[in-house]
Amino acid sequence: MLTESEIRHIIAKGEGTRIEFKEAQLGVPDSFYDTVVSFLNKEGGIILLGLTDDGVVLGLDDANLMQLKQDIVTSLNNPDVINPPYALPIRDVNYDKHSLLYLHVPISSLVHKHAGVIFDRENDSDFRVTEDRQISEIYFRKRQNFSETQIFPNLKMENLNLEVFDKVRKLIASINSTHPWLTSSNERILRDVHFLRKDFNTGEEGLTLAAALVFGKDETIGSILPAYKLDVMVRRENLDRWDDRLPPLRTNLIDSYIKVLDFVKSKWPEKFFIEGAQRIDLRELIFRELVANVIIHREYNTALASEIIIYKDRVVAKNPNKPRFTGPLDLKTFSAEPKNPNIRRFFSELNWADEIGSGVKNINKYLHYYAPGATPSFIEDDPFITTIPMTVEPIGHRVDMIVGLAQLNNVQLTEQKLNNLKNIPLNLELKEMDDENLLAIKLVKLWKEKSEELHKIRFRINNNIQLEQLEKVGSWIEKSGELLKKRGRILLSTLLLTLEPIRLEELAAILEYKSKERYRDDYVKPLKDNNLISYTVHGQPNDPNQAYVITQRGIDFIGGNQI
């Protein structure tokens, strides 16, 4: 369920290439389907119904919501409206006491039409594509972005493993005894998920790379993708090699998923959680999402292998990827896009994958119940890196060291802020360090490195400090002078002071700034602009009750974790 803050964030961004507002006061406007098609054809996007183009919230009549949803669902599945049809979940959301409808439209691997017309997206507008050159460019763009749709004319049904089709039917029968695939031909199944498709631009028709990956014999997969493999290993004692591993997997994705999930689960104890009336196996849920993401969202036309590495305290997955940007996903605001949408849709039929982006959100949601205080990280790059901490080492007794580095005292921080600081997870690579002097040196260097990724933060430290020098210094306040320059100390102090909401005037007074405006511009604004701290009253910077509070990103920064 979307929160009000997520909706507020979308509205604040306004209409653009990937955001569209529709009033829908008199029903579903015809232009709605133009936008759905343009999003499917371009980069995907979000549609909110119940707003003007300028983002003014009108809301929708609750009595008409069900009819609106039914009309949209029916039309999305009607080839006379959207062709090829594309089913999408439609969510009710409440914002500022108004009812709205929300659709997340992913980028599709196919070219779609509304009422026989191809639409593309430019800025905040949908436009008709009628020229042959423009149509060819869209098809070319799809082929470049989605290697799973590549047609192999010489790939035939005899190159597929019939036993996998039988296995798929058994898996589906266990969850849906009336599913049409139970009585469908193998060819029908392939066509339903576009593994057997026709390129209407070239006239070419045949089985795709996705068909080979999901249903292919091992020798078929090896012939098409000779470098493809998935490595899963345990590195708990022998960090340079491995303690245990699965034989490198070069088989179909169905068997790969089952084998990898069983192996990863076997390395961690069970833990259950009651949600409503349902008893949830947290280990199953967390790793199901991880393994599905590794298999579904990798780039297969590459010589690099996918890796899942199991350590004593975490699981790290590295996946070949065509990044759309580089950097960490913001778990509150990110908009997920499928790397292999047809494979994802196939996996969803088996209940192995849910809505786009649900894997990341479910890992983030349920990991806390398995390992309280743990926060996963997802780094969009090549490779895409997922880190799931399975145990957490809080700052705990090291709190005096960090407070001393900031040159603050327990009165300034208050008991609640100190407790919050003690519970912040420490970077897992630092937790084995018993020597606090060495830990402090490593931590301030991490702060400096992470600040270099940010705009106008410039966390300043004394680069040449040696362990021997620091051991000769007395208190942590004195050691702070050896490790941190003034700018680094003030930035750290500001983060610690915002562990509970605090007003700008209080911040400036504690840090002895006569000009709160200068302090705000030099320190508070860069921290806020980089989402390390935020307003407590969003959208109203001049509210008389306005204060600042640290964000999850700021908490991760203090602990030396990925931000």
Does residue 563 sit within a domain?
no
Strand pairing category for 230-234 and 306-310: parallel
DSSP 394-448: B-GGGHHHHHHHTT--HHHHHHHHHHHHHTSBPPGGGTT---HHHHHHHHHHHHH
Question: Is the preceding peptide bond at 320 cis, omega within 30 degrees of 0?
Answer: no
**Is there a contact between 120 and 138 (Cβ–Cβ < 8 Å)?**
yes
197 and 313 share a domain? no
DSSP letter, residue 63: H
**pTM tops 0.75:** no
Give every CB contact of residue 394 below 8 A, 6+ residues apart in sequence. 373, 422, 423, 424, 425, 426
**Is there a contact between 280 and 367 (Cβ–Cβ < 8 Å)?**
no
516 and 409 share a domain? yes
329 and 359 share a domain? yes
**Is there a contact between 350 and 168 (Cβ–Cβ < 8 Å)?**
yes
**Is there a contact between 311 and 236 (Cβ–Cβ < 8 Å)?**
yes
Does residue 113 sit within a domain?
yes
Tally of domains in the chain: 4
What six digits make up the tokens of 369? 């119940």
Does residue 434 sit within a domain?
yes
Q: Which of 491, 512, 510 is nearest to 554 (CA)?
A: 491
**Is there a contact between 82 and 112 (Cβ–Cβ < 8 Å)?**
yes
285 and 376 share a domain? yes
Give every CB contact of residue 514 below 8 A, 6+ residues apart in sequence. 508
What is the CATH number for 130? 3.30.950.30
Structural domain ending residue among the three candidates 145, 171, 206: 145
Does residue 332 sit within a domain?
yes
194 and 239 share a domain? no
Element (H, E) at 276: none
78 and 121 share a domain? yes
Q: What are the backbone dihedrals phi and psi of residue 494, each rounded to the nearest 5 degrees, phi first?
A: -65, -40
Distance (Å, whole) CA 350 – CA 173: 9
Give pLDDT, residue 108.
83
DSSP β-bridge partners for residue 394: 425
Strand ranges of the sheet holding 113-114, from the earlier edge strand across to the other edge: 82-83, 113-114, 117-122, 125-129
**Is there a contact between 82 and 76 (Cβ–Cβ < 8 Å)?**
yes
Distance (Å, whole) CA 562 – CA 446: 10
Element (H, E) at 512: none
Give every CB contact of residue 273 below 8 A, 6+ residues apart in sequence. 279, 280, 282, 366, 369
525 and 465 share a domain? yes
Distance (Å, whole) CA 74 – CA 63: 19
Structural domain ending residue among the three candidates 174, 195, 224: 224
**Is there a contact between 83 and 72 (Cβ–Cβ < 8 Å)?**
no
345 and 333 share a domain? yes
DSSP letter, residue 107: P
What is the CATH number for 347? 3.30.565.60
Structural domain ending residue among the three candidates 95, 127, 145: 145
**Is there a contact between 111 and 139 (Cβ–Cβ < 8 Å)?**
yes
Does residue 20 sit within a domain?
yes
Distance (Å, whole) CA 256 – CA 331: 28
257 and 270 share a domain? yes
Does residue 245 sit within a domain?
yes
Given its phi and psi angles, is residue 446 left (phi above 0), alpha (psi -120 to 50 degrees) or beta? alpha
Q: How many CB atoms lie within 10 A of CB 273?
A: 14
336 and 299 share a domain? yes
Q: Which of 558, 531, 410, 563 is nearest to 5 (CA)?
A: 531
Q: Find where tokens 């869209």 sit.
A: 138
**Is there a contact between 89 and 105 (Cβ–Cβ < 8 Å)?**
no
Instruction: Locate the DSSP E strands across 205-359.
Output: 205-207, 230-234, 244-245, 272-275, 278-281, 306-310, 314-319, 327-328
What b/e sequence results for 386-408 when a residue is b if at least 16 CB atoms lie within 10 Å of its CB, and e otherwise?
bbbbbebbbbeebbebbbbbbbb
Q: How many CB atoms lie within 10 A of CB 31?
A: 13
- Tens of pLDDT, residue by residue, the chain (563 residues): 677 888 888 898 899 988 999 999 989 998 999 999 999 998 889 999 999 999 999 999 988 899 999 999 999 999 999 998 888 889 899 998 899 999 988 888 788 999 999 999 998 999 999 988 888 888 777 766 678 888 998 999 999 999 999 999 999 999 999 999 999 999 999 999 999 988 876 788 999 999 999 999 999 999 999 989 999 999 998 888 999 999 999 999 999 999 999 999 999 999 998 988 889 899 999 999 999 999 988 888 888 899 999 999 999 999 998 776 777 777 766 666 668 889 988 998 998 887 655 778 889 889 989 998 888 888 888 899 999 999 888 999 999 999 999 999 888 999 999 999 999 999 888 887 889 999 999 999 999 999 988 888 989 888 777 888 888 888 999 999 999 999 999 999 999 999 999 999 999 999 999 999 999 999 999 999 998 999 998 778 888 899 999 998 899 999 998 77
524 and 415 share a domain? yes
Does residue 483 sit within a domain?
yes
Angle at 349 between CA 257 and CA 355, to 5 degrees: 90
Distance (Å, whole) CA 104 – CA 35: 12
What is the CATH number for 479? 1.10.10
Question: What is the domain extent for residue 134?
Answer: 4-145
348 and 426 share a domain? no
